[in-house]
């Protein structure tokens, strides 16, 4: 088999690559002993770039086109090899073909929920997923940094690393954006553009270019989504008391339209009891009979008004004070029976002894306890 390969290499002088897969990034053209005949034809199709590698060192790079491999169009390789014995014999070089078309519909997503601090809900956990597209932008960097001597390098060999970059970048962008999770759904496009801008330098380190990034979904835990649904429902309902009355009215209407049903009978009885109670309460209130005492006891009396007084201290007005504060002033001798006081409704200032509610406080302290 080795002899056949050698003979085949001597005969074949066309170097090209037709890709029948959709996941190959780099393909090394197979040649026996890496020998290429002088004057061999190199075909580079659209969406491809060919690279000649001499002893592990990147030499000449060829864009799409048809090339005859001679010293004229191999300046770097010609310099590296020197051609001490002329250029008639085969030369050694590896030929790598790079697929420069876009690789689309690449998926990314968070394996574990991302914990973030939200301005409205506090600490929340969210998940996200989407897709992206990329292409080869620097064949030398990709070959030296990632591919190495791999003769058939596929997307799957690097997709995991690219996905990790996506997840890390998404976490940083969302955490630093300051956008509430309620507003993230309306900012998918902006979020994707911002994420692509941040990640492109990272892709460039691999010789790749991120051409498109889409954020397709950001979801919250089921319990939080349920709470949001309930919150939305409450917002749609508006006034809960009016909504309850409306629901009751709707039920009464439905019962009236179906008087023969058991539900209609029950609702009709409830309506009758409610009307009877309202009618009875009205009669009791008008006649003020003892039967109304139970109903009145269920309603608290009105809150009594608190009296406030102004007083004259050292020729200046002070206050207003309620009766508790007046009592404290009397106890600490800030007020006496002669202190002038006034409140709303009084025609003029009066001594404290002449105001009934204050006069009772002037003598409220017990006399001293007699000694034995």
Q: Tokens for 195? A: 């994420």
- Interatomic CA distance for residues 33 and 42, integer angstroms: 18
CATH of domain 103-225: 3.30.479.30
Checking if the pLDDT of 74 tops 90, the result is no
Which region among 74-83, 162-171, 206-215, 325-334 has the lowest average model confidence (pLDDT)? 74-83
Q: Tokens for 285? A: 């209130």
Q: Which CATH architecture has domain 309-362?
A: 2-Layer Sandwich (3.30)
Which is higher by pLDDT, 121 or 48? 48
pLDDT digits (tens, 9 = 90+) for 79-117: 766 655 555 556 778 899 999 999 998 999 888 888 877
Residues across the chain: 372
The percentage of the chain sitting over the pLDDT mark of 90, rounded to a whole number, equals 22
Q: What distances in angstroms separate CA 40 from CA 16, 36, 70, 76, 151, one per listed residue?
A: 11, 7, 8, 17, 21
Which is higher by pLDDT, 326 or 231? 326
- Contact (CB, 8 A) for 218 and 181: yes
- Most confident range (mean pLDDT) of 69-83, 182-196, 203-217, 273-287 is 203-217
Q: Which strands make up the sheet holding 65-68, listed edge to edge? A: 14-15, 41-44, 65-68
- Interatomic CA distance for residues 329 and 350, integer angstroms: 17
Which is higher by pLDDT, 371 or 51? 51
pTM of the predicted structure, to 2 decimals: 0.56
Instruction: For CATH 3.30.479.30, list the domain ranges present in the chain.
Output: 103-225
Average pLDDT for 290-308: 62
Q: Tokens for 314? A: 């050292």
pLDDT digits (tens, 9 = 90+) for 269-296: 555 555 555 545 555 555 555 544 544 5
**Residue 89 CB neighbours (<10 A):** 10
Residue 285 DSSP code: H
- Interatomic CA distance for residues 67 and 61, integer angstroms: 11
- Interatomic CA distance for residues 97 and 76, integer angstroms: 18
Checking if the pLDDT of 212 tops 60, the result is yes
Nearest alpha-carbon partner for 36 in 89, 85, 76: 89
Cβ density class 182-219: b for 16+ within 10 Å, e for less: eebeeebeebbebbbebbbebbeebbbbbbebbbeebb
Instruction: For CATH 3.30.1490, list the domain ranges present in the chain.
Output: 309-362
Hunting for tokens 């629901």 — which residue is that?
A: 247
- Most confident range (mean pLDDT) of 38-47, 79-88, 132-141 is 132-141
Question: Residue 249 — pLDDT band, cuts 50, 70, 90?
Answer: confident
Determine the 3-state secondary structure of 212 from DSSP: strand
Average pLDDT for 48-65: 89
- Contact (CB, 8 A) for 37 and 95: no
Hunting for tokens 């799409």 — which residue is that?
A: 64
Which is higher by pLDDT, 4 or 298? 298
């Amino acid at each position: 088999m080795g002899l056949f390969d050698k003979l085949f290499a001597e005969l074949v002088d066309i170097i090209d690559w037709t890709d029948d897969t959709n996941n190959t990034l780099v393909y090394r053209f197979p040649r026996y002993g890496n020998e290429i005949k002088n004057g061999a034809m190199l075909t580079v199709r659209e969406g491809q770039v060919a690279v000649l590698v001499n002893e592990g060192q990147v030499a000449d790079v060829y864009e799409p086109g048809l090339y005859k491999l001679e010293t004229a169009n191999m300046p770097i390789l010609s310099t590296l090899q020197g051609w001490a014995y002329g250029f008639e014999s085969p030369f050694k070089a590896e030929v790598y073909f790079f697929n420069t078309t876009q690789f689309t519909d690449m998926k990314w997503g968070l394996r574990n929920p991302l914990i973030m601090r939200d301005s409205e809900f506090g600490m929340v956990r969210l998940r996200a997923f989407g897709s992206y597209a990329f292409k080869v932008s620097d064949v030398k960097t990709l070959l030296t940094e990632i591919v190495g001597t791999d003769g058939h390098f596929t997307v799957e060999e690097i997709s995991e690393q690219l996905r990790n970059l996506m997840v890390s970048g998404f976490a940083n962008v969302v955490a630093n954006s300051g956008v509430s999770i309620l507003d993230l759904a309306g900012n998918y496009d902006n979020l994707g553009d911002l994420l692509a801008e941040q990640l492109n330098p990272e892709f460039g380190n691999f010789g790749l270019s991120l051409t498109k990034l889409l954020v397709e979904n950001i979801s919250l835990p089921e319990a939080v989504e349920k709470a949001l649904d309930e919150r939305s429902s409450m917002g749609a309902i508006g006034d809960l008391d009016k909504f309850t009355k409306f629901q009751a009215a709707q039920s009464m209407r439905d019962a009236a339209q179906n008087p023969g049903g058991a539900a209609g009978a029950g609702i009709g009885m409830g309506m009758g009891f409610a009307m009877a109670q309202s009618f009875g309460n009205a009669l009791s209130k008008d006649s003020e009979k003892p039967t109304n005492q139970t109903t009145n006891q269920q309603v608290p009396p009105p809150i009594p008004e608190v009296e406030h007084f102004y007083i004259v201290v050292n020729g200046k007005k002070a206050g207003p004070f309620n009766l508790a504060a007046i009592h404290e002033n009397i106890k600490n001798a800030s007020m006496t029976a002669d202190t002038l006081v006034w409140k709303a409704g009084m025609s003029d200032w009066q001594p404290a002894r002449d105001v009934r509610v204050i006069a009772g406080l002037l003598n409220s302290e017990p006399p001293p306890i007699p000694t034995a």
